[in-house]
Amino acid sequence: MIQSHKNGLFSIQQVADMTGLSKQVIRKWEERYGIIQPKRLENGYRIYSQEDVKMLLKIKLLSEQGHSLKKSILLVKESEEDPEVPLPKEETSNYEQWNEYVFRLLEKGSHCDEIEINFILKQAYHHVGLESFLTGIVLPFLKEVGRKWENDEWSEYQESVSSLVVRDFLIQIRRNYHYRESAPFVLGACLPHEYHEIPLHLILLRFMMKGWKTQLIGASPAPGSIETLVSKLKPNMVLLSATTTLPFETDSQLLRRLDQFAEKQTETAFYLGGQGAVTYVSDYQPRSIHVTNSIDDILK
């Protein structure tokens, strides 16, 4: 991997892997519009900086949102020349926060290279610490993976490999994290028929940094298992997650039953989060389960 200075330098193939743009398109945008000025090695090969990659990503995103290519380039150039000039969509500003680890993960993720993804995650975790690792590397990477999959830039296999490697790495961190025996206990659980467990791993790690003992019920637990474990383990808090509305569509009485169960657990606080839950509870408002999509509301 080309990496000549602290900001990182990438070959055109690496840039293509990171952005989803073909090498031909990258060269065309460079030569026709002059939007980036890559350096050249002695052999003539182009090398691109992180700032070059970020600019390409911004232009690509704006064009996907309906702007013409010329308009997208103009908007990005104006924002680069004057930081006070905002871009039309807030998502483009997220690229400014990306660091080299995010770029490298995207490159290896495009090739479904599990070993390299895991190696980069390990490097990043030990280099920046847990909080920065979660907020500055894992979250941006997963959001971009999801965006690429939704836009058919990545196949289901590419999305699955990248997400599963991240999930397994987060599990390793949680298993090796130390806590006091007297620590408060939080139990996290996906609802039955909900398979997206990574958001819970991220939330539970935030709790661990605050000194909590944590445990997770995995994806799509059997009906009744949440109630059984809560009754047995007596956690101080239960975090329920539904990224999709599938749990409620599959079992229309699920939330009502869980709410009735939570009402009887006077020593345990229940929270329900995820976009699916927030969407669904517009039709049914639970009395004993607090619905929120903000971990800060729970941790305060």
Domain limit, last residue, from 45, 73, 96: 96
Count of domains observed in the chain: 3
The residue from 152, 176, 200 where one domain ends is 176
Tens of pLDDT, residues 210-242: 999 999 998 999 999 999 999 999 999 999 999
Q: Are residues 58 and 169 in the same domain?
A: no
**SS3 at position 179:** coil
pLDDT number for residue 263: 96
Instruction: Indicate if 187 and 166 belong to the same structural domain.
Output: no
> Do 192 and 280 belong together in one domain?
yes
For residue 185, the cross-strand partners are: 213
The amino acid at residue 1 is: M
Residues 103 and 88 reside in one and the same domain: no
Burial class (CB in 10 A: 0-12, 13-18, 19+), 287: exposed
Whether residues 266 and 186 share a domain: the answer is: yes
Q: On the CB side of 64, how many CA atoms lie within 13 Å of its CA?
A: 18
CB 238 within 8 A of CB 268: yes
Helices assigned H by DSSP within the chain: 12-19, 23-28, 50-64, 69-81, 91-94, 100-110, 114-128, 130-133, 139-150, 156-176, 198-209, 225-233, 246-250, 254-264, 275-280, 295-299
Q: What is the CATH number of the domain that holds 205?
A: 3.40.50.280
Show Cβ contacts of residue 138 under 8 Å, excluding neighbours closer than 6 positions: 121, 166, 170, 202
Q: Model confidence over 89-130: pLDDT tens digits?
A: 655 667 888 999 999 999 999 999 999 999 999 999 999 999
The domain containing residue 162 runs over which residues?
A: 98-176
- Kindly report, residue by residue over 27-82, the tens digit of the pLDDT: 999 988 888 888 888 887 889 999 999 999 999 988 888 889 888 888 888 777 76
**212 and 290 housed in the same domain:** yes
Same-domain pairing of 108 and 161: yes
Pick the last residue of a domain from 149, 176, 203.
176
CATH number at residue 165: 1.10.1240.10
Q: Are residues 195 and 141 in the same domain?
A: no
Kindly report the backbone phi and psi dihedral angles of residue 175, in degrees, each rounded to the nearest multiple of 5, phi listed first. -65, -30
Domain co-membership, 285 together with 193: yes
Largest CA distance in the chain: 73
Q: In this structure, are 229 and 216 located in the same domain?
A: yes
Q: 75 and 147 share a domain?
A: no
Of 3, 95, 10, the residue nearest 54 (C-alpha): 95
Give the orientation angle of helix 254-264 with respect to helix 225-233, to 10 degrees: 10
Question: Where residue 297 falls among pLDDT bands split at 50, 70, 90?
Answer: confident
